Amino acid sequence: MNKHITRRRFVAAAGIGALGASALAKAQESKAPTALVRGAIKPIVVSSANGNISKNSDGETAIAKAFKMITGGSDVLDAVVAGVNILELDPEETSVGFGGLPNADGVTQLDSSVMHGPKKRAGAVAAIEGVRTPSLVAMKVMQETDHHLIVGKDAAQFAKLMGFKVEPDLHTDKSRKLYLEWKRRIDPEHYLNPKTRADAGRNAAMSMIRDGLIDPLHYFGTINCNAINSNGEVCGVTTTSGLAFKIPGRVGDSPILGAGLYVDGQVGAAGSTGRGEANLFGLCSFLIVEMMRNGMPPKDAGMAALKRVAANTIEKRLLTARGTPKFDINYYMLNTKGEYAGLSLYEKVGNSPVRYAICDENGPRFVECDFLLPGTSAD
């Protein structure tokens, strides 16, 4: 007679099967987790490169602000969210928060997610309009509700109930000017069939990138920021205005737990920037954390995720002439030992190496990403 299989046994069996023989072998070889000694971990903040560009009135970048708060005793999630708020409120930053590039109808819709490792809690908002700091609303979802995700107009209404100012328009002069330029470059009649119109919109955006009007990193946008304190407590946040000139209502990976962000307090954290659809398909932040759980260093886990993305990209429209993905995607990860990595699908964007940002006892700085493929996605 078969024994009754519990839900826990079923999930465990499915998880082991999904990891594959290689990961299982590593898991069997790995030792039991080493107990963390209080104060034994060196605090560090790891983020996408834009976490070391925008500054607040004190001259601090996002990673510097977060590190200062963490080493001052603040909760790790409070610190990283305070850090990304600097970008969300920067009118010159066109991929996050206030002034982020809008959707195809000219409306700025924002996404964000947060995860708290020690508390094993999370919150997110998607397609929220009118609130400059969606990461703070995601925090309220985590703190004030039994839910993980609130979307659209109801997310804005929730924010209003939580005391946030909901504005009719999040455009800056810069974002409005770029939107109008994009509109000018697509067919002004708008009588195209859906595929042709979508192609026209993307071609217009690419031409603006070639003309230097849009930073290529800001077409997809986003900041992911993860950190650990001296007690080994890990938290993370991802926030974005999403794909520039997207279909209204489109939501990418940023607010989806396991895609744009995943944190496990016993393992570590991972997050992403770049083409959200590619990351959503593989739930790669979750994948990276699970691989770290089974003994992989952050760099190796991230590289495995990049290989998964490349293997899953088979549609001709998404491939270059050499058969590699025609887009960029980056991962940022750290484990509870304080080990970290930043990885990119390609070596460069334009003529510049892809970078990420870290802040530790030696201060904030850029580091070149390890990469899977040479050259750029445009080659």
Radius of gyration of the chain (CA): 20
CA angle 197, 200, 203 (to 5 degrees): 150
Nearest to 228 by CA among 92, 53, 45: 45
Q: How far apart are CA 218 and CA 233, in angstroms?
A: 30
Sheet holding 268-274, edge to edge: 261-264, 268-274, 329-335, 340-346, 370-373
List of residues 6+ apart from 87 with CB closer than 8 A: 50, 51, 54, 62, 93, 96, 97, 223, 239
Q: How far apart are CA 361 and CA 70, in angstroms?
A: 11
Q: How far apart are CA 284 and CA 259, in angstroms?
A: 6
Which among 61, 133, 222, 240 is annotated as catalytic?
Answer: 222
CB-count burial class (<10 Å; 0-12, 13-18, 19+) for 31? exposed
Asked if 87 contacts 75 with a C-beta cutoff of 8 angstroms, the reply is no
Nearest to 289 by CA among 328, 236, 367: 236
Is there a catalytic annotation at residue 222? yes
Q: How far apart are CA 217 and CA 91, in angstroms?
A: 17
Q: How far apart are CA 225 and CA 50, in angstroms?
A: 10
Distance of CA 179 to the CA centre of its chain: 23
Find the helix or strand (DSSP H, E) in which 344 lies: strand 340-346
* Cβ density class 159-189: b for 16+ within 10 Å, e for less: beebebeeeeebbbeebeebbeebbebbeee
Q: How far apart are CA 331 and CA 167, in angstroms?
A: 32
Q: How far apart are CA 357 and CA 140, in angstroms?
A: 27
Show which residues are catalytic.
222
